Structure 1
Amino acid sequence: MVKVLFVAGEAAPFAKTGGLGDVIASLPKELRNQGLDARVIIPKYSDISEEYKRRLLPETVVQVPVSWRLQYCGVEKLEHDGVPFYFIDNEYYFRRAGFYGHYDDAERYAFFCRAVLEVLPHIDFQPHVLHCHDWHSGMVSVFLHAHYRGNPFYERMKTIFTIHNLKYQGVFPKDILINLLDLNWDYFTVNGIEFYDQINFMKSGVTFSDLVTTVSPSYANEIQHSYFGEKLEGVLANRHNDLSGIINGIDYEIYNPATDPNLFINYDGKTAKRKNKNKLELQKMLGLPPDINKPLLAMCTRLVEGKGIDLVLRVLNEILDGDVQMVILGQGDEDYHHTLWQASWIHHNNLSVIIPYRESLSRKVFAAADLLLMPSRYEPCGLGQLIAMRYGALPIVHETGGLKDTIQSYNEFTGEGNGFSFTNYNAHDMLYTIRRALIFYHDKQLWQKLVQRVMRTDNSWTNSAKKYRQLYHSLFMEEHVYKAATASPKISVPPDLDEFVPDYTQFVPAKEILYAH
C-alpha cells in the first residue's frame, strides 16, 4: 500500500483561508477510498475550533532544531472523515490569531517544515511520499536533501510539491539561511533557493522536489510564461518534464444540494425546480424583491484584484440596468468593500453585497443562483465553478487556468457546453457574455436542460485522485524499470502498480528488491 503524507499550512474544517484548505481535506479522503494510506499534517493553530481541540489525542513530544536552537514540538492526532490528521503544536509559533501574515512567518514555517521531518520516526507512520502544498511546506524537500538523506529512515522517501497559487511565494531575507534554515551558502544559488538576493520558499519546493504539480493543466502551461509566472517562469520551464497539472475536485458528500443542511430546501437533479424556492427565500432574506423569474447572478469570491473585481466595477451599472439581480459575497481589500457597499445602496432593489464571507451563507447563494460570475484575471483551478454546477448554477468565466479546463461555453448551434466564457480580459467582453447568458436564461425549456446537464457533471475527486495515484507510482517507476533492464530476463515490472511500491519498513536496498513472475 502506498503511504502518502500531505504537508500543508491549512486543512478544512480545522483551518481554511481558501481552496487549499478544501483540497487538503478532500483529496486524502478520496485517496484512502482508492486504497492508499493518505494522512495529513498541519500546524495546530489557536483559531482551530474548540470542538476539534477537545478531541485531539497526544501522540509524542520531540525537540526540533531551528538552526542552533531546539524548540518544543508536540504532536497531536485526530481522525476526521476517516483521515488521520496530525497537528504540530508549538504555542510560541502558532498560538496567535490568524494563520499567515505575521512578522516571523519565515521562522514559523521553517520550524513547521523541519518538525514534519523530525516527528516521522515517532508517529508510527513512514510515508513513501511527502506531498507538500504551497510555500508553507516548501522547505521540506530542501531539509530532506540537506539534513536527512544520510539517515536510512528517510533515504528513499520521495517528494511532490503542488502549487495552488503561484502569487504567494514566501519570500524572506537571505539572513535566515544560516540563522533559521541551518543551510550553507551552497544552497543560496540561482539553481537553488536564491531569488533576487532573497530566499523563496515556493522556489525551494519547486527546485528540490522530485515532481511538481499544479491544480489544472492550463495553469501548468501558463506559469511557464512571464504573464502568469510571477518571476518563477524560468524555474518552472526548466522543470517542464517534471511538471504536470491535475484539476481539483470537490467533495460530493459535503457539497450536495440533496443533503446540505445550510439550504432553505434541499433538491437534486430530479427535483431541480425546487431550486426556485431557495431563490425566493434568499431574495427575502437579503431584501431583494422576490421574483423566481428574475435571473440571479452571484459572485462568491475573495474581493481582490486577481478575481476580476475591477472588471465588474467597470460595468456594474450596465449589468444592473438589465433585468437581473446580483448577490456578491466575499471579503478582501477595503477599497472594494466600500465601493461595493456604496453601489448596493444605490442599486438596493437588485444588488446585495454581503461582507464578510460566511461558508453557510455561500451554500444558500449557490443554491439560489442561476448564474455564477468568475471573471478572474488568473485562476489556478477554481472551486467556485465546480460547486456552482453541483448546485445547478451555470458559470460565467474568463478563459484562464482551471476555468478554461472545466467550463465549455454553450454553443447554441451544436447544443454543447456547460456554461459561458469570454477570452479577453476585458470588462465589455464580460458584459457581452453576461447578456448572452441572460438571453438563454429566458428560454425556460433550454435553461432547464442546461441545469440538468451541469448537475449531472462529475466534478468529484474520483478521476483526479486516480491521476495522483499514477503520479505517486511514477516516482518509483524509474527504479524498477532500471532493475528490470539490468536483471534476469525473467524479472520485469509487474502490471499492478501497487505491487512495486516497496515495503519500506525495513528499508531494503533497492538492488535487493526483485520481482519475478
Structure 2
Amino acid sequence: MKVFYVTSECWPFVKTGGLGDVSYALPKALKKEGVDVRVILPKYSTIPTYLKDQLKEIAVFNVQVGWRNQYCGLLEIEFEGIKFYFIDNEYYFKREGEYAYIYGYEDDAERFAFFSEAVIKSMEKIDFYPDVVHINDWHTGMIPLILKSKYSHLERYKNIKTIYTIHNLQYQGVFGKEVLGDLLGLSDDYYNNGDVEYYGGVSFMKSGIVFADKVTTVSKTYVDEIQTPFYGEKLDGLLRANSYKLEGILNGIDYDLNNPTTDPNVFFKYDVNSIDNKVKNKLELQKILGLEINPDIPVIGIVSRLVSQKGFDLISYIMPELVRENVQLVVLGTGEHQYQSMFNYYGSKYSKKVSARITFDSALAQQIYSGSDMFLMPSLFEPCGIGQMMAMRYGTLPIVRETGGLKDTVQPYNQYTGEGNGFSFANYNAHEMLYCIQKGLNLYKDKDIWHKLVRNAMSTDNSWKNSAKKYIEVYQGILN
C-alpha cells in the first residue's frame, strides 16, 4: 500500500503543536507495518540548518495559482528510513525575523493553495502515485476537491483515494469567496451549491470534509462531540450529514523518543520497575527552578499553550486557593497575555511554590514530565491531547477534564478496585477541578497507593502501534 502523507508541519523539521508530532510518529509507525509511506510539507525558512543542509533538489517546475505561474522546487531527504519531500518557494515560505512563524499571514490562502497544487504535481516528478493521500487540517483541505475537479480524468490519478484528518476543528481556514477562482482556478459552482461555502466565505476545512473519501479525527469522544453545537464550531450540521464517513482514531506518542530510560533530558533514568528514581528527578527540577527542595511536596506540572481552550480561566480562578495547599506548581508555555501575566504574578509572589517559564523549551518540558507528580490539563475541549499521554509515559498522573481524547485515555482512580491511571472531573467548573486536585494531593500521602497508580500510568499503552493498524484498516476500507 502506498500512502502520501500531506502536512503543514512535521517534527523535527518544523513544529508548532501536536500536528507536528503526529506527522512524524504516524508515518514512522505505518512504515513498521509495511506501508510505503512518504511525507510532504512546505520548506520553511525555520527548518534547522543541519537538516536543511541535507536536502537534495530533485525537481523544478511551475505551479498555477489562479492566473499566477509560480516557481516550485521539490527537495528530498531520507530521515529514519522515511522519504520526506519539501515544496520550495521562498515567496510563500521564507518568512524572516526572530519570531517568524508558519501560519497566520494575510496570504495564507494563497500560500496553501499553492502548496495543495504543488503536492499533486509533485507525484509526477517523483513517480509516486499513491493509493491514498492522507491530508491533515485546513491547510490541505482543498486537495480532495482539486484532485476530483482537475485530475480525475487522468489515468494515474483517477483511483487515488483521500482521507482527511481533523486535528482541531476550531481552525478552519476561512477566506473570501474570490479564492475559488483567483487562487484555485475552480468554478464558483462549488460555492453556489454550498460545497465549500461557509457564512459568506470559503472554508478549506469544509471542502476537506465534503470531498474526502473518509474523515477521521483524533479520538472517539471528539467524533461525537464535534457533531454537537457546543463543540461543532458551526460545522456540526455538516458533520452529522457526513457521519457515515467519520471515524475517531486516537493519537499516540513516539515511545522511542519519549522513554524515561533513554531520554537524554531526564536527569536520572528510570522505568516502571525503578520508579524510586523518579523522585530524584523531582528534586533536581525543584533545584533548577528555585523551588523549595523537598521530596514530600507534590509537584503539579503544566506544559501547554497558555490559551483559553486549555482551561486556564479555571486555573486562574482557583489560584488563590491552590497556593494555600501544600503543593508546587510548575508552568511552561506561551500564549495569551492574561495567562502569562497571571502565572508571572504568582511565580513572583510565591517563588518557592510557583515557577512560571513563559517560553518554549523542549528539554525543560521533558524534565517537567519526568519530575512532576501530577500533570494538569483541564481543557474546555481537547481533540486528543498529547500532554496527558506524555505524562503517563513518565509516571506523572494526569488531572484532566473529561473531554475528547482526555476522556478516552485517562481512567480515573477507583478507590474500591485500585484501578486507574489518573484523575478526572466532568464539568467545566473551577471548584470541581480544585476538588479533583485536592483528591490527588490527599492520595499522594499514601505512597503504596500512589506508586501503584504510577505503575498503572507507565504501563498504559499509548504507543502508535495500535493506532497505525487502525489507520491501515481505514485505508483498506476506502480502497475496497
Following TM superposition, where does structure 1 have runs of at least 4 consecutive aligned residues deviating by more than 3 angstroms?
Answer: none
User: Residue 42 of structure 1 corresponds to which residue in structure 2?
Assistant: 41
- Determine the C-alpha separation between the residues in 2 that align with 1:177 and 1:247: 33
1:98 paired to 2:101: yes
Residue 331 of structure 1 aligns to a residue whose secondary structure is: coil
C-alpha contact (below 8 Å) 2:419/2:453 kept by paired residues: no
Following superposition of structure 1 onto structure 2, how do residues 58-73 of structure 1 map, counting pairs within 5 Å? 58-73=57-72
User: Residue 327 of structure 1 corresponds to which residue in structure 2?
Assistant: 330
Q: What do the CA deviations read for 1:356-414 (whole angstroms, capped 9, x no partner)? A: 12111100000001000000000000000000000000000000000000111101012
Letter in 2 for 1:359: S
- Determine the C-alpha separation between the residues in 2 that align with 1:349 and 1:153: 64
- Determine the C-alpha separation between the residues in 1 that align with 2:228 and 2:455: 38
Displacement, 1:124? Answer: 2.4
Residue 226 of structure 1 aligns to a residue whose secondary structure is: coil
C-alpha contact (below 8 Å) 1:303/1:331 kept by paired residues: yes
- Determine the C-alpha separation between the residues in 1 that align with 2:81 and 2:375: 32
- Determine the C-alpha separation between the residues in 1 that align with 2:304 and 2:324: 23
1:301 paired to 2:300: no
Stretch of structure 1 that moved more, 263-272 or 307-316: 263-272
C-alpha contact (below 8 Å) 1:297/1:372 kept by paired residues: yes
Q: What do the CA deviations read for 1:229-277 (whole angstroms, capped 9, x no partner)? A: 0000011111101000000000000000100001112111111111111
User: Residue 449 of structure 1 corresponds to which residue in structure 2?
Assistant: 452
C-alpha contact (below 8 Å) 1:191/1:207 kept by paired residues: no
C-alpha contact (below 8 Å) 2:62/2:71 kept by paired residues: yes
250, 267, 270: which one aligns with 1:267 = 270
User: Residue 4 of structure 1 corresponds to which residue in structure 2?
Assistant: 3
Following superposition of structure 1 onto structure 2, how do residues 195-210 of structure 1 map, counting pairs within 5 Å? 195-210=198-213
Letter in 1 for 2:229: S
Superposition RMSD in Å? 0.8
Stretch of structure 1 that moved more, 123-132 or 362-371: 123-132
User: Residue 352 of structure 1 corresponds to which residue in structure 2?
Assistant: 355
Displacement, 1:206? Answer: 0.6
C-alpha contact (below 8 Å) 1:31/1:38 kept by paired residues: yes
Displacement, 1:282? Answer: 0.8
1:337 paired to 2:340: yes
Does the C-alpha gap of structure 1 residues 372 and 190 become closer, same or farther in structure 2, counting only changes over 3 Å?
farther
148, 153, 157: which one aligns with 2:151 = 148
- Determine the C-alpha separation between the residues in 2 that align with 1:252 and 1:264: 18
Structure 2 length-normalised TM: 0.98
Structure 1 length-normalised TM: 0.91
- Determine the C-alpha separation between the residues in 1 that align with 2:193 and 2:390: 40
Stretch of structure 1 that moved more, 331-340 or 370-379: 331-340
User: Residue 242 of structure 2 corresponds to which residue in structure 1?
Assistant: 239
User: Residue 417 of structure 1 corresponds to which residue in structure 2?
Assistant: 420
Residue 136 of structure 1 aligns to a residue whose secondary structure is: helix
C-alpha contact (below 8 Å) 1:133/1:161 kept by paired residues: yes
Q: What do the CA deviations read for 1:316-360 (whole angstroms, capped 9, x no partner)? A: 111111110110111111221112101111111100001112111
Q: What do the CA deviations read for 1:10-53 (whole angstroms, capped 9, x no partner)? A: 00011100100000000000000000011110000000010100
1:364 paired to 2:363: no
- Determine the C-alpha separation between the residues in 1 that align with 2:185 and 2:123: 20
Q: What do the CA deviations read for 1:69-97 (whole angstroms, capped 9, x no partner)? A: 21111110111122111000000000102
C-alpha contact (below 8 Å) 1:303/1:309 kept by paired residues: yes
Following superposition of structure 1 onto structure 2, how do residues 367-386 of structure 1 map, counting pairs within 5 Å? 367-386=370-389
User: Residue 257 of structure 2 corresponds to which residue in structure 1?
Assistant: 254
Letter in 1 for 2:209: V
User: Residue 435 of structure 2 corresponds to which residue in structure 1?
Assistant: 432
Displacement, 1:130? Answer: 0.3
User: Residue 286 of structure 1 corresponds to which residue in structure 2?
Assistant: 289
Displacement, 1:189? Answer: 3.4
> Could you list the runs of 5+ residues in structure 1 that have no partner in the other structure?
478-517
Tell me the percent identity.
51
- Determine the C-alpha separation between the residues in 2 that align with 1:414 and 1:191: 52
User: Residue 56 of structure 1 corresponds to which residue in structure 2?
Assistant: 55
> Could you list the runs of 5+ residues in structure 2 that have no partner in the other structure?
none
Following superposition of structure 1 onto structure 2, how do residues 389-408 of structure 1 map, counting pairs within 5 Å? 389-408=392-411
- Determine the C-alpha separation between the residues in 2 that align with 1:442 and 1:393: 15
1:127 paired to 2:126: no
- Determine the C-alpha separation between the residues in 1 that align with 2:293 and 2:310: 29
Q: What do the CA deviations read for 1:101-149 (whole angstroms, capped 9, x no partner)? A: 1110000000000100011111121111000000010111111111111
C-alpha contact (below 8 Å) 2:304/2:332 kept by paired residues: yes
Letter in 1 for 2:404: G
User: Residue 465 of structure 1 corresponds to which residue in structure 2?
Assistant: 468
The structure having more radius of gyration, on CA atoms, is 1
User: Residue 222 of structure 2 corresponds to which residue in structure 1?
Assistant: 219
Residue 192 of structure 2 aligns to a residue whose secondary structure is: coil
- Determine the C-alpha separation between the residues in 1 that align with 2:20 and 2:364: 18
